[in-house]
Structure 1
């Protein structure tokens, strides 16, 4: 983007136009009067801002709004077809994907079964982008960004993936580069539990927490750590990979890794092959055993981070429900410290994809702002 000297007319126009675009993105369709009131600008200035944004193909007329007196006023809205992206959640045998635009339109989620497919970073994303665009009837050429949730420790600086066995065909180094170079889109890889934590912060039970730890209990385990609204990833992207941490399963018992206690195989053994949600509802002793294992697992997190809140998420936690959160809270309470609040996630089973979608909306909006003329 061209450099503009602060205080010049070009700088002021660009600054005003960016603010106007943000107001349209935040509030939806606006008339020039409404834009003037929200921005504090005069009607003539608001009209000029709208005209410049329309010429840049960032706005278009979307209807009319009737006033109490006088004729109806034209309203404008952000063009959602200029830049889009695709949010992706990589699971063991499936890929979930959804188209994302700047205004957060609800698009259908597609599910791709890839267990028998030849896998590669670019190949997986190519299929995901195609499927998401077809499901939403959107031109693939508008897709400029992808955000991908993976079950791995992600180092953005080194473009590396570690501690994963769920991405066959993906190399430990250079996956992002392969996607970007072969597909021509900007790619962001992020740990799936970190994305779920972003969703929990945005609209879940952690919205007002100063700090929280999200324990994700599914096929494997992971912890998303939010400190003051920022995700803590660690120096190499490995923060929160608690599934590899050894703990004692009971007094005098030898240490086992936490995935053995709470991963899919461990839970399957506890419920004796039954559906966890059904077994938990019928036999609280099984649910209590899960709560005890969770308390053992998060003890190191509490000792090191002392979070205000612990959120239980993922399929196993959702199957255990509110009662599981209550049992965990009772087991983490100790006389020698202030116990954290323990809550069940409220973001549902689509938390990873929703976190990716929200991150992607911000990236798309930044791209639109960068298209505002500077002269």
Structure 2
């Protein structure tokens, strides 16, 4: 049943003639464009009242009422409890979850993490399955298992997903769904790997660089203001960077923007003795550095977490100081070139270093630059790559639903 009166239901003195369609635009087309504008706003802004909608979109009240009535009749909308900011009771509408579900995932040598959500983000479900020691074929099975688990939580079959976007380590060739380089992951770069994942998932799987997706997550769910410029530095078993310029992810001409693992960097006090950055700051390098300071050969995250809590003057404090300078050495060139507002540290190792690592990196950069960006930890909850993949696939799925309204 419609919850808003149409123009014909109104008394003559309150009726508003619909605006004339622009030259060359049919009335049906104008209606469809209005419906799309209302649906697009509800998809991006969540449950809203008619009052919210006409203020946000700029359409007249009768136009919004008519669009809501049509969208409800078409099955796109459901009623939603809500109270206007003024405190006045108002009818709210939300996009029906059944309008579509999508999935974002993170595939690594350790695990497959999946997030499934409806297109309005009213409900989100996740699952993780181990991929350690698995062949590419077994990794595809792990992805399917994780998708099955998350879809069961959502109450939908895996085949009910509109699309799946998967973050993977390595360069994804522009215009092709193929990994060009996957260090330490033999077989992932073969041409049919994405097809193998698609067969397992039961829907088309698109691949994207994992760190680029983590950067996208920062724009949607992190600490970065819209339209800002920032760098995301990922520290784990590997090293990578995402580059965002004025609110847009920068991929570069060949899709390699941010591939800084081979960028020359140096240890503190040895500027002439440079090494590839990953040989100074990745997990293996951190464990070696810890051994030099007599802190054992344990897991890099545990080592750095303990060092971040160590009193000044101790081996732990000296370790985090040296590690901060190594990171800053690698950040120096891209930071000078991009001149970002901030640098976001992410990845298991960076997060283990906490705020003390951020302060150390910022102080080290200040020794070489007259103006330094703010260095902060990522605030994206959970798996940032899977979150970024979900954010990326949502935008395309929402627009596909909006465009399904025929003119």
TM range (shorter): 0.7 to 0.9
C-alpha contact 1:317 1:344 (8 A) present in aligned 2: yes
Q: TM-score, normalised by structure 2?
A: 0.80
Deviation per CA, 1:100-148: give whole Å up to 9, x if none. Answer: 2111134232110122544337545433322220232223332011111
Report the equivalent of 1:353. Answer: 386
Q: Which residue pairs with 1:306 in the alignment?
A: 339
8 Å CA contact 1:93, 1:115 repeated in 2: yes
Specify whether residues 179 and 91 from structure 1 end up closer, same or farther in structure 2 by C-alpha distance, changes over 3 A only.
Answer: closer
Give deviations 1:173-214, integer Å, cap 9, x for gaps.
354455457755343322111111112223423326742211
Larger radius of gyration: 2
User: For residues 281 and 312 of structure 1, what CA distance do their matches in structure 2 show?
Assistant: 18
Matched, 1:20 2:48: no
- State how 1:11-90 maps to structure 2 within 5 Å: 11-32=29-50, 35-36=53-54, 38-41=56-59, 44-62=62-80, 75-90=92-107
Q: What TM-score results when the alignment is normalised by the length of structure 1?
A: 0.86
Provide closer, same or farther for how the CA distance between residues 34 and 231 of structure 1 changes in structure 2, counting only shifts above 3 A.
Answer: closer
**In structure 2, what is the Cα distance between the partners aligned to 1:155 and 1:57?**
39
Q: Is structure 2 residue 235 aligned with structure 1 residue 211? A: no
Q: Aligned partners of 2:23, 2:154: CA distance in 1, in Å?
A: 42
Give distance in 1, aligned partners of 2:196 and 2:387: 24
Equivalent residue, structure 2, for 1:127: 145
Q: Which shifted more, 128-137 or 190-199?
A: 128-137
State yes or no: 1:342 paired with 2:375.
yes
Which of 100, 109, 114 pairs up with 1:97? 114
- Between the two proteins, the alignment pairs up a number of residues equal to 370
Instruction: Say whether residues 1:373 and 2:406 are aligned partners.
Output: yes
Question: Mind listing any 5+ residue stretches in structure 2 that lack a counterpart?
Answer: 1-21, 291-295, 311-315
Structure 1 stretch displaced more, 173-182 or 300-309: 173-182
Show the 5 A alignment for 1:92-241. Answer: 92-120=109-137, 123-165=141-183, 167-180=185-198, 183=201, 185-207=203-225, 210-241=228-259
Deviations 1:29-75 (A, max 9, x none): 34556545555555554343223222332113345879x9x9x8654
Question: Cα–Cα, structure 1 residues 290 and 57, in superposed 2: closer, same or farther, change >3 Å?
Answer: same
Contact 2:125 2:154 in 1 (8 A): yes
CA deviations on 1:276-303 (whole Å, 9 max, x unpaired) are 2123312211110110111121122234
Whether the 8 Å contact between 1:56 and 1:372 is mirrored in structure 2 is no
What stretches of structure 1 move > 6 A for 4+ residues in a row? none
Q: CA RMSD in A?
A: 3.1
Separation of aligned partners in 2, 1:237 and 1:84? 28
Distance 2:326 2:200 in 1: 44
| Cα distance between partner residues in 2 of 1:132 and 1:169 | 26
Structure 1's 104 and 51: CA in aligned 2 closer, same or farther, altered over 3 A?
same
Matched with 1:273 is 297
- Aligned equivalent of 2:280, options 257, 261, 264: 261
